[in-house]
Amino acid sequence: EIVLTQSPATLSLFPGERATLSCRASQSDTDDLAWYQQRPGQAPRLLIYDVSTRATDIPARFSGSGSGTDFTLTISSLEPEDFAVYYCQQRTRWPFTFGPGTKVDIK
């Protein structure tokens, strides 16, 4: 099973600041990665798939990058609605797995 590790566990930032979230895979051939946002009491929402492709209606302030074992989600300027938990997910190998999440909260 591919294990995904996310860091940091919590990121405390002000609105308008840049957020950089990391996801590391346990196997180096991981090449299919997505990012999801989950707000309290809501279902997750797909933000980024195929490492760097924004999903439908996702604002341009969200971007994804990386390869091999290290991947990054960047939010260029945090809006109030961006304070949430973010999960990375791989589909290179079944079982598809998620990271434990990074909580972005308001400083």
Partner 1 sequence: EVQVSESGGGLVQPGGSLRLSCATSGFTFSGYAMGWVRQAPGKGLEYVSVISGSGDRTLYRDSVKGRFTVSRDNPENTLYLHMNSLRVEDTALYYCAKQSSSGFGWVDYWGQGTLVTVSS
User: Which residue, 19 or 33, has its beta carbon nearer to partner 1?
Assistant: 33
Q: Which is nearer to partner 1, 29 or 50 (CB)?
A: 50
Closest approach of Cβ 54 to partner 1, in Å?
Answer: 12
Residue closer to partner 1 by CB (options 16, 57) is: 57
Alpha carbon 43 to chain centroid, angstroms: 15
Amino acid at 91: R
> Residue 11 and residue 85: Cα distance in Å, rounded?
10
Query: To which residue do tokens 């990665």 refer?
Result: 33
Write the single-letter amino acid at 33: L
| Binding residues for partner 1 (CB under 8 A) | 32, 34, 36, 43-46, 49-50, 55-56, 87, 89, 91, 94-101
